[in-house]
Amino acid sequence: MSAKGDAGSVLILGATSGIGKAVARRWAMDKADLILAARDTAEAERTAADLRVRYGAKARVVEFDALKFKSFEQFANGYFTDGCQLAGVVLCYGFMADQIEAQKNPEAARKTIDTNFTSPMLLMEQFAAQFEKIRSGFICAVSSVAGDRGRQSNYIYGSSKAALDTYLEGLRVRLFKSDVHVVTVKPGFVDTAMTWGLPGLFLVAKPEKVADDMWKAVRHRRNKIYTPWFWRYIMLIIRSIPQVIFKRMKL
C-alpha cells in the first residue's frame, strides 16, 4: 500500500494548522489527491493553490468546523457516495488553552476537551463505520506527548490527548480485522502557532519533520509513533518517575 492508501483521496482535517500544511505538502509530494478541510477556507485555498503550482497536486478545499458535531455524519458520509472513495483521513486540528486560564474558565477547559477529544472521537466513529464497510482506509491522528503524563503545567490539554490515545488504540483493535489502519502520532514540541512565544520549549521540531514521520508511519502501517523519534525515550524516562517524586517536580 502506498501512503495514499489503496486508491482515492486523502482528507486532511485542520489543514490550516502548521502541522496540517506540512502534511498536505508531504502527501502532495507523493502525488496524492488532497481534500483540505478547514474552517478558514481562504487560508486553505492558498495552501491548495501552492500545492497545485509546486507539486502539480490535485487539491480542493472544504469547509469544516470541528465543533459542529451534528454535521459529522453527513460530512463523513459524503466521501463514500458513488464515484468517491477516500483512501484515508489525517486529523491535524487541535486546541491548547493556557493551563491557568483553563483552571479558571470552564469554557476554555471544555473547548480543549471538545476540540482534542470529543470531536475526533465523534468524527472518527463516522469514518470508521465507512472504512469498515469498504474494508480499506487509514486514520492517522495527531495526539501529543503531553498525553503520557499529567503535568501541573498542562494537564487539561494533556488529559484530552490521553483520552484520544486510548480511543485510537481501541479503534485500531476494532478496525484491524477490516484491514483499516489507525496511526497515533505523538509529537514533542513543534514550531507552529500553537507554541509560538511559549516559555520553556526545547528540542523544537519543524512541522516538515513531523509530517514526514507521519507519512512514513502510514506507509509502514505503524501503530504509534513519537516524532521526532527521541521523544519515545524522553517520555519513557518521564513515565518511569514515581508519583512520590513526580508530585514534587515543577514540570
Ligand X SMILES: NC(=O)c1ccc[n+]([C@@H]2O[C@H](COP(=O)([O-])OP(=O)(O)OC[C@H]3O[C@@H](n4cnc5c(N)ncnc54)[C@H](OP(=O)(O)O)[C@@H]3O)[C@@H](O)[C@H]2O)c1
Phi, psi of 182 (to 5 degrees): -120, 125
Residue 154: CB minimum distance to ligand X, A: 11
Binders in 198-237 for ligand X, by CB under 6 A: none
Residue 95: CB minimum distance to ligand X, A: 5
Binders in 106-165 for ligand X, by CB under 6 A: 115, 142, 144
C-alpha 208/C-alpha 98 separation (Å) is 25
Q: Which long-range contacts (CB under 8 A, 24 or more apart) does 154-161 make?
A: 154/96, 154/99, 155/99, 156/97, 156/99, 156/102, 156/103, 156/109, 156/112, 156/113, 157/96, 157/97, 157/99, 157/102, 157/112, 157/116, 159/113, 160/112, 160/113, 160/115, 160/116, 160/117, 161/116, 161/117
Among 30, 39, 121, 134, binds ligand X (CB under 6 A): 39
Among 2, 7, 54, 65, binds ligand X (CB under 6 A): 65
Residue 179: CB minimum distance to ligand X, A: 26
Cβ nearer to ligand X, comparing 69 with 246: 69
Cβ nearer to ligand X, comparing 84 with 204: 204
Closest CA to 185 of 159, 212, 203: 212
Note whether 67 binds ligand X by CB under 6 A: yes
Note whether 17 binds ligand X by CB under 6 A: yes
Contact set with ligand X (CB under 6 A): 14, 16-20, 38-40, 64-67, 92-96, 115, 142, 144, 187, 189-190, 192-195
